[in-house]
Copies of this chain bind each other. A is one copy, B any other.
């Protein structure tokens, strides 16, 4: 399988963690989101993913699966162990809700295409775009996640789930933009713990084939 990825994409980062946790090897194909106006916008890439976003997983028969959380559920179906969605329906729903809080209500608002729209057509300054970014990471975002997770070593229970897989890349983004999250004690503890695990370490944006310093 091939994973269309970009080292700094937090949605691609989620899929890299899931692949590592399940021990599935794929070929990574870097899609540079900035060079040449964004290579995700080329007709060649849009033929794979009409949304023009990464990640996308191409199966060996050429079928392409888009959307990080759909890819993770696909991986769960073809390689059930270790589980990334808890077996208990209520716990599964709680883990999925945290993943979706991040994947729906934080990340898309702060995505490159949205920041470009704010600074381009809407004429906002970098400072206003940064304040937008900070606002949506916290308000109804990580502030809510802090209340929703159990905390401890992982968001829920004793093994990483789809909640942790979405949380760690979002914390990386928050730190990258120097957003203070030191009041989010459970999130900081989960982040510290996950960072000790090879599956998370090896998925880090600094360690990918297409990484730029």
**CA A97 to CA B78, docked complex, whole Å:** 17
Contact A103–B101 (Cβ < 8 Å) = no
Contact B148–A50 (Cβ < 8 Å) = yes
Contact B73–A92 (Cβ < 8 Å) = yes
Q: Which residue of the partner chain B has the closest CB to A105?
A: B108
Contact A73–B50 (Cβ < 8 Å) = no
**Total identical chains:** 2
Stretch at the interface among A27-35, A63-71, A167-175, A200-208: A63-71
Contact A104–B103 (Cβ < 8 Å) = yes
Contact B104–A65 (Cβ < 8 Å) = no
Contact B117–A108 (Cβ < 8 Å) = no
Q: Measuring CB to CB, which residues of chain A are less than 8 angstroms from any residue of chain B?
A: 50-53, 59, 63, 65-67, 69-71, 73-74, 77-78, 89-90, 92-94, 96-97, 99-101, 103-105, 107-109, 113-114, 117, 122, 124, 128, 132, 135, 140, 143-144, 147-148
